[in-house]
Structure 1
Amino acid sequence: MTNTALITGASRGLGLALARSLAGAGWNLVLTARGAEDLEKVAAELGATAIPGDVAEAAHRERLAAAVPTLDLLVNNASGLGATPLPKIAGYPLEAFRVLLETNVIAPLSLIQATIPAVRAARGAIVNITSDAATGAYEGWGGYGATKAALEQLSNVLAAEEPDVAVWWADPGEMNTRMLADAVGAEEAAGAADPEDVARALHELIDRRPASGRVSLQ
């Protein structure tokens, strides 16, 4: 039987690289991202189902859940950076932080809640992409890091509550992505890891299916 995965933020970066890796192994893929044109190109390349939209919108999450009545793998990869240039906590715009919480915490939790019956039935897995900013005190990264810390604790408790589901909160490390370039500049981002290398490590993790927990991919 073919495995099915739902990947958010799948039009570029780690999401795209993982989609390509899983497609090469014969997975059935349902992909989402905000950029419809780029997502449709990826879906055509991989023979996947594209459902463009913003995971922060409840109606879009409902469409995604309806598209995966059976689900072996949910990858909550879509993420926002927040206010830029990266502000210090003392001056972080509160409305921008609310939006970031909606994208980085509420959206993945809501998608987990919507799909967990299908994941349970498949004895499947959930991957929540996190960051070392969730645990380290990096100047300017407080808003983003706080959302990832919340996602990590949600993952930790979910793993305890769902013993038949593998739950990994995976730290990909710094990658050469548009998000990192927006945060630190393109020149510095160019020296970071290739998302394809990180995707290979994540695919190996999915195949090995270790116990639930926090995982570093670099």
Structure 2
Amino acid sequence: MTKTALITGASRGLGLALARSLTVDGWRLILTARGEEALRSAAGGLGALALAGDVADPAHRDRLIRAVEDHGGLDLLVNNASGLGTVPLPPLSHYPLGELEELLRTNVLAPLALIQAALPGLRERRGAIVNVTSDAAVEAYEGWGGYGATKAALEQLSNVLAAEEPDVAVWWVDPGEMNTAMLAEAVGEQEAATASPPEKVVPTLRRLVAERPPSGRVSHS
């Protein structure tokens, strides 16, 4: 039986790198990201279904779930899409609360909403969920308080979900510092260029899917 994966934030970075790798093994892919042109370009070379939109938008999430149902179910949900928040990264004493609220919608509520919608099918197929988090969820980096707080919330949601859903594997994965557009936006292109490419993280994710270890936090190193 062909397996199906839904990957958010799939037009670049880790999401695209994982999609390329899964395609080699014959996975059917549903890819989403906000940038329609970049997503179409990425998905076109993979034979994947591309549905551009914002995962924080309930109507777009509904479209994604309908696509999953049209494909007969879901084996893997990868919540990779993420916002950075206010740039330059501000201290918490000056963090705009409205922007933090928006970041929580993207980084916490949207992944949970997708999980809730996908869970019946994932339970049926004994599927898996990968929530991409960050070391900023557990370390105190100046300026990263807003982003880190959202990732800490996502990690705890994952932790509890793993306890509540024994038939679904739930991994929350800290990929480490990667050379991505998001990191470059936060620290500058020169510093970001010293980080590892996202492709280096893909074997860690593939190992989870292939070996299905117990649910838990996974750090790529």
Q: Scaled by the length of structure 1, what TM-score is found?
A: 0.99
Aligned to 2:62: 62
Counterpart CA distance in 2 for 1:217 and 1:48 is: 27
Identity of aligned residues (%): 70
Counterpart CA distance in 2 for 1:195 and 1:41 is: 18
Indicate the SS of the match to 1:118: helix
Aligned to 1:126: 129
Provide, for residues 61-87 of structure 1, a one-character-per-residue CA deviation record: whole Å limited to 9, x for no partner: 011011112000000000000000000
Aligned to 1:159: 162
Paired letter, 2:95: Y
Question: Which among 89, 93, 102 is matched to residue 90 of structure 1?
Answer: 93
Alignment length (residue pairs): 218
Provide, for residues 182-202 of structure 1, a one-character-per-residue CA deviation record: whole Å limited to 9, x for no partner: 000101100101101111221
Paired letter, 1:216: S
> Which has the larger displacement, 200-209 or 18-27?
200-209
Query: Cα distance, 1:154 vs. partner?
Result: 0.3
Aligned to 1:8: 8
Provide, for residues 151-183 of structure 1, a one-character-per-residue CA deviation record: whole Å limited to 9, x for no partner: 000000000000010000000000000000000
Indicate the SS of the match to 1:67: helix
Verify: 1:102 aligned to 2:105, yes or no: yes
Paired letter, 2:49: T
Aligned to 2:35: 35
Provide, for residues 105-159 of structure 1, a one-character-per-residue CA deviation record: whole Å limited to 9, x for no partner: 0000000001111111110000000000000000000000000000000000000
Query: Cα distance, 1:94 vs. partner?
Result: 0.4
Paired letter, 2:38: D
Q: Scaled by the length of structure 2, what TM-score is found?
A: 0.98
Aligned to 1:179: 182
Query: Cα distance, 1:48 vs. partner?
Result: 0.4
Counterpart CA distance in 1 for 2:100 and 2:42 is: 31
Counterpart CA distance in 2 for 1:87 and 1:207 is: 40
Counterpart CA distance in 2 for 1:25 and 1:90 is: 48
Aligned to 1:206: 209
Question: Which among 184, 198, 218 is matched to residue 215 of structure 1?
Answer: 218
> Which has the larger displacement, 83-92 or 202-211?
202-211
> Which has the larger displacement, 196-205 or 167-176?
196-205
Provide, for residues 13-47 of structure 1, a one-character-per-residue CA deviation record: whole Å limited to 9, x for no partner: 00000000001111000000001111111111000
Verify: 1:25 aligned to 2:25, yes or no: yes
Counterpart CA distance in 2 for 1:214 and 1:170 is: 6
